[in-house]
Structure 1
Amino acid sequence: MSMAQTDRVSPPRRRTRRAMLVSPALVLAVVLSGCGMTSDDEGGSGNGGGLTKITIGLSEEPRSLASWNAYSNDGHPVLRNIEEALLNRDPQTNELVGELATEWKQQADPKTWRFTLRQGVTFHDGSPFNAEAAAYGLNWVLSKDNAFPMRTFLGPELTATVVDEYTLDVTTEAPDPILPTRLYFVTIPSMKALKEKPNEWETHPVGTGPYKFAAWNRGRDIQLTANDQWWGRKDTAAAHGSNDKVKDVTYLFRPETEVRASMVKTGEAQFVRWLTESQCGEAPKCEKGVGVETVILRLDTPNPALKDPRVREAIALSFDKSQIINNIMGGGELAAQIVGPSALGFNKSLQPYPYDQAKAKQLIAEAKADGVPVDAPLTVAAREGFILRADESIQLVAQALTDIGLTNVKSEMRETAKFEQAWTAGYQAITPDRGLIGLQQHGNELMDYSSSIEGYYACKGATSAYCDPELEKLTAAANQLAGGERDTALQNIAKYVYDRYITVPVGQPNFYFGLATGIDWKPRLDGFLLVKEMKVS
């Protein structure tokens, strides 16, 4: 399936703010009457034994429920509960642990990794999980011809092949020391479903996970139900969770933070993601996490103004990053890289770009004097329903750019599909007149800076707006290394990128989650929302 085909997935129906802001008492009455509960049930037990149904409030509806979207913030809260990968992370230690694989080892040929697969696992459609199914799913999701966005996290091209029924080899074109880490991000769909019902892949996911897809009522909700045949029921320790308590999960999509906050306060939802600190403090329970997300500005370097390093440096100096992270987004740490301390290649010697409006004005004046078109149209844009209070942040940035002498700047919130189409176009497709300055949240869940370099700074990177042959050489050399040598090489690349103002890191925000009193859950560093990890009472 081509990227053009995936872009035709019907967009979610939007609700107006007026439709959302109903009386809390009315919301509670509707929820309780619809579920047949009393208010003491806080989400539905049906048997007096604790929560068996939970509703999760998210800021945006998934673009797609195909496996390729299991990496994204709009996709993984749903898909990682339906589908599983060869590997996952321990929710406490963050170390790689087996999921559909039990062992993995790099072979004598460093281009090949061998995975021993978990036995006794079946897909939700009853088909067996084995090496044939794993190879088919991985090759499909990571296919160069299909070109799904999941390939952003792929290093060298790879091919998965069957060794025997429960042994899988994955071979890359060049040695890839972090291949297991990359594959932890790739969920495996049912081979049977892909072959027999390929047109349903985007809308009816079939996996091996603890929850089965039940329904997607576009613009309203997504429903899952517990998988009674899940392998993890027999080995909850290896599965790092359980699905025997929560039987049904419903996802509701509300872009406004105040509406999500009201949902958990009234009992309409038992879990809501991404509130402000004050809203979270008013929830029955509040959990705060730091995560691996960095808020950044990415600059269209083919643009005649943005290709000038002085203009890019001026943009980096033009606005107060603390005001965005601490005042608008509710707190966090300012950043000098698009990855945080959890990533290999994090360079702690780099400091966040300072706020220096006087120097920024001077740089713009110098560029203008040399004929750089500082009046070229520029658009500061962000994606709706994603970054907390992004509309306020892009207005602040746009005004700052105007103040330093860039005279044709506007801000614009964009619907997800439109924003992602521009964001993932690739360097070669960016026209000089586009002038996009995108505010985005970048997560390095692989916790290796190379994946961010390959995505954002490579000539063929899926989310790159920059091309530099020298940087390509540095990246290729670093990717062959491991351990301390790899860390040093990646830190050197971080300094190289920092000095060229290709992106403007803003900061790593705190994330706030509102919970019902009957749920015990702690945020994962990678941001995954796995219902199997929620303990209910």
Structure 2
Amino acid sequence: MPKGKIYLAAGISGLLAVAGIAPQSFAANETVTVVLPEEPPSLEPCESKHSSVGRVLIQNITEPLTVIDPQTGKVKPELATSWEQTAPDTWRFHLREGVKFSDGAPFDARAVVASIERLQRGDMTCNTKQQTLGGVDVQTTIVSDYVVDFKTNKPIPIFPTMMTVVQMSSPNMKLEGASRRPIGTGPYVLTAWNAGTDITVERRDDYWGEKPVVAGARYVWRSESALRAAMVATGEADLTPIISVADANNLETDLAYPNGETTRLRISTNVPPLDDKRVRLALNLAIDREGLKVLFGEEAKLAEQLVGPNVNGFNPDIQPFPYDPEKAKQLLAEAKADGVPVDKAITIIGRNEIYVNAGEALEAMQAMWSEVGLNTQIRMFDTGNWLRYQNRPFPEPDMANLHQDQHDNLLGDATFTAFNKYDSEGVNSAVYDKRVDDLIAKAEPATGETRTKAFQEAFKLLHDDIVADVYMYHMIGYTRVSPRLDWRPSLATNSEIDLSEIRFQASE
């Protein structure tokens, strides 16, 4: 063996030893081990839009009524077989018969009603409701055992698309906070969750659809990208959905893919000194985004809005903010002369491993802001505590802060971004502007060019006039896959890992 490869192997073995993991041969042929960047805060079906939850849950344990065809972008049947709009505010769905949840309960109209009730519950904030339905309230009516009517508080022409992210769950699941024991119709059932260690799922024998090749999966989590990559390299794990660009150094196992995520720091626009547009603009002008690409890969694209070019409502005329630290200093000096407290500390709310090199990026940005005279401090949280600052009511509403965030819109329409992130009533919004609210309200019931233009105007207003965010990147993901697997990442990989798509390479 060449000396360089001896050193590499020794380094990997040492890294695993430090983590308390012994290198071993590949797992049993029919099972896989997936190493994630963090432990899920729950496995609550109505929280599946959180990537740490969705990677385990979606299409494995739970399933929706409809799905998006990745090739065409069109809505396809899954647990629903067909649907039609019977009134401007009403959709009728016909359900697949002969389907059961893993606890034996039948999937029928009553189960759908229970799932919608779970989504709109009052004891917790369900992010799927907030990020998908936004300000839409849904009433369900049972027409027959396998037919359900959905009536919304306003016309929603893309309602079948909305339902692609609403996970169906057993009516026997209790409404007691965020569940750690999900029960769905999917091909796998949760068998164990050893807190802090692993989660395991096993294939169901009574699944209604095609039997997956993978018999079961074990999910573990390690925060360090290099460790996740090493675990796949040594056979301790079979795949990891996220590694850093620096660790993506093996052409045979490491794959780049557009992961659909856009990163930003949300600005608390109503708290001094961030309530002054000049300060918000200075935050953006002080950042060398081209220089920061070393942390994320040269393929990452500078962001100028929170949706990508594949989304209806994307505005191609918006340009990213340039790197202009001198202009940033000038704006801050002008604001200070007018009495704005620009020396006040601004808190950066970060989340551990929200994406690779998240902490390093914040530290680099903090240094850039210091260069132009801004005083920032970083507070890093695990997912559960970070969510407290993401969702209203905000725990420290008078704190000037920048909230580290990433958002995917894989459904192809800006409605899945605009209300939740920017409307005055949006659960993640720190924007309070009637002009934005009016444009969102104009877009949501509309179709065609009227819908597209209203969303485009809203994004331009948010960027050019309000400066609602510190915009970062349309991201590229990097994953490492064991040579024994026949599997490739897709646009959805950062949010879900469908075990039924995995095959095993033929043995030599």
TM over 0.5: yes
Distance in 2 (CA, whole Å) between partners of 1:314 and 1:200 is 41
Deviation at 1:291, TM superposition (A): 2.0
Change (3 A) 1:123 1:73: same
In the alignment, what sits opposite 2:143? 163
In the alignment, what sits opposite 2:397? 431
1:99 to 73, 78, 94: 78
In the alignment, what sits opposite 2:239? 271
2:284 to 306, 311, 316: 316
Letter in 2 for 1:95: K
User: In the alignment, is the contact (CA less than 8 A) between 2:244 and 2:357 conserved in 1?
Assistant: no
2:27 to 36, 39, 43: 43
Deviation at 1:379, TM superposition (A): 1.3
Taking only aligned residues, the RMSD between alpha carbons, in angstroms, comes to: 2.1
Deviation at 1:124, TM superposition (A): 0.0
Equivalent runs, 1:166-177 vs 2, <5 Å: 166-177=146-157
The DSSP-based 3-state class of the residue aligned with 2:369 is helix
Distance in 2 (CA, whole Å) between partners of 1:365 and 1:426 is 33
User: In the alignment, is the contact (CA less than 8 A) between 1:294 and 1:509 conserved in 2?
Assistant: yes
Change (3 A) 1:200 1:461: closer
User: In the alignment, is the contact (CA less than 8 A) between 2:442 and 2:451 conserved in 1?
Assistant: no
Distance in 2 (CA, whole Å) between partners of 1:79 and 1:25 is 27
User: In the alignment, is the contact (CA less than 8 A) between 2:369 and 2:376 conserved in 1?
Assistant: yes
The DSSP-based 3-state class of the residue aligned with 1:513 is strand
2:439 to 474, 486, 498: 474
Listed as ranges, the gaps of 5+ residues in structure 1 are: 1-18, 32-38, 46-51, 234-241
Equivalent runs, 1:131-146 vs 2, <5 Å: 131-143=109-121, 146=124
Letter in 1 for 2:65: L
Percent identity at matched positions? 34
The DSSP-based 3-state class of the residue aligned with 1:280 is coil
User: Is 1:520 equivalent to 2:486 in the alignment?
Assistant: yes
Between 1:118-127 and 1:397-406, the stretch displaced more is: 397-406
Letter in 2 for 1:101: A
In the alignment, what sits opposite 2:202? 225
The DSSP-based 3-state class of the residue aligned with 2:52 is coil
Equivalent runs, 1:479-498 vs 2, <5 Å: 479-498=444-463
Deviation at 1:154, TM superposition (A): 1.1
Deviations 1:389-423 (A, max 9, x none): 111111111122222122x3112322222211011
Equivalent runs, 1:19-98 vs 2, <5 Å: 21-23=15-17, 27=21, 29=23, 31=24, 39=25, 42-45=26-29, 52-80=30-58, 81-98=60-77
Deviation at 1:143, TM superposition (A): 3.2
Deviations 1:286-340 (A, max 9, x none): 222102210101111121100001111111111111222x211223111111110
Deviation at 1:282, TM superposition (A): 2.5
In the alignment, what sits opposite 2:371? 403
Q: How many residues align?
A: 487
Distance in 2 (CA, whole Å) between partners of 1:530 and 1:91 is 13
Distance in 1 (CA, whole Å) between partners of 2:122 and 2:452 is 28
Equivalent runs, 1:242-281 vs 2, <5 Å: 242-243=211-212, 245-281=213-249
Distance in 1 (CA, whole Å) between partners of 2:14 and 2:432 is 44
Deviation at 1:149, TM superposition (A): 2.4
The DSSP-based 3-state class of the residue aligned with 1:22 is helix
User: In the alignment, is the contact (CA less than 8 A) between 1:426 and 1:465 conserved in 2?
Assistant: no
User: In the alignment, is the contact (CA less than 8 A) between 1:20 and 1:259 conserved in 2?
Assistant: no
Between 1:442-451 and 1:172-181, the stretch displaced more is: 442-451
Change (3 A) 1:201 1:397: closer
Distance in 2 (CA, whole Å) between partners of 1:296 and 1:25 is 32
Distance in 1 (CA, whole Å) between partners of 2:424 and 2:178 is 31
In the alignment, what sits opposite 2:310? 342
Distance in 2 (CA, whole Å) between partners of 1:20 and 1:58 is 20
Letter in 1 for 2:154: A
2:424 to 459, 470, 485: 459
Deviation at 1:22, TM superposition (A): 2.9
User: In the alignment, is the contact (CA less than 8 A) between 1:284 and 1:516 conserved in 2?
Assistant: no
Distance in 2 (CA, whole Å) between partners of 1:523 and 1:262 is 19
The DSSP-based 3-state class of the residue aligned with 1:279 is coil
Deviations 1:433-458 (A, max 9, x none): x1111221111133211221111111
Change (3 A) 1:440 1:25: closer
User: Is 1:416 equivalent to 2:400 in the alignment?
Assistant: no
Distance in 1 (CA, whole Å) between partners of 2:393 and 2:282 is 24
Deviation at 1:426, TM superposition (A): 4.5
In the alignment, what sits opposite 1:181? 161
In the alignment, what sits opposite 1:365? 333
The DSSP-based 3-state class of the residue aligned with 1:275 is coil
Deviation at 1:179, TM superposition (A): 1.5
The DSSP-based 3-state class of the residue aligned with 1:338 is coil
Distance in 1 (CA, whole Å) between partners of 2:396 and 2:66 is 35
User: In the alignment, is the contact (CA less than 8 A) between 1:365 and 1:405 conserved in 2?
Assistant: no
User: In the alignment, is the contact (CA less than 8 A) between 1:66 and 1:203 conserved in 2?
Assistant: yes
Deviation at 1:526, TM superposition (A): 2.9
Between 1:363-372 and 1:472-481, the stretch displaced more is: 472-481
Stretches of 4+ aligned residues off by more than 6 angstroms: none
User: Is 1:384 equivalent to 2:352 in the alignment?
Assistant: yes
Deviation at 1:375, TM superposition (A): 1.2
Letter in 2 for 1:253: W
Deviations 1:124-175 (A, max 9, x none): 0011101111111122222356542222121421112211111111110010
User: Is 1:508 equivalent to 2:474 in the alignment?
Assistant: yes
Letter in 1 for 2:356: L
Distance in 2 (CA, whole Å) between partners of 1:77 and 1:88 is 16
Distance in 2 (CA, whole Å) between partners of 1:412 and 1:201 is 25
Deviation at 1:250, TM superposition (A): 0.3
Distance in 2 (CA, whole Å) between partners of 1:524 and 1:57 is 17
In the alignment, what sits opposite 1:190? 170
Query: TM-score, normalised to structure 2's length?
Result: 0.91
Listed as ranges, the gaps of 5+ residues in structure 2 are: 1-12
Distance in 1 (CA, whole Å) between partners of 2:15 and 2:195 is 20
The DSSP-based 3-state class of the residue aligned with 1:192 is coil
Distance in 1 (CA, whole Å) between partners of 2:48 and 2:20 is 35
Letter in 2 for 1:118: R
In the alignment, what sits opposite 2:187? 210
Change (3 A) 1:200 1:230: farther
User: In the alignment, is the contact (CA less than 8 A) between 1:347 and 1:495 conserved in 2?
Assistant: yes
User: In the alignment, is the contact (CA less than 8 A) between 1:283 and 1:514 conserved in 2?
Assistant: no
User: Is 1:353 equivalent to 2:321 in the alignment?
Assistant: yes
Distance in 2 (CA, whole Å) between partners of 1:303 and 1:93 is 44
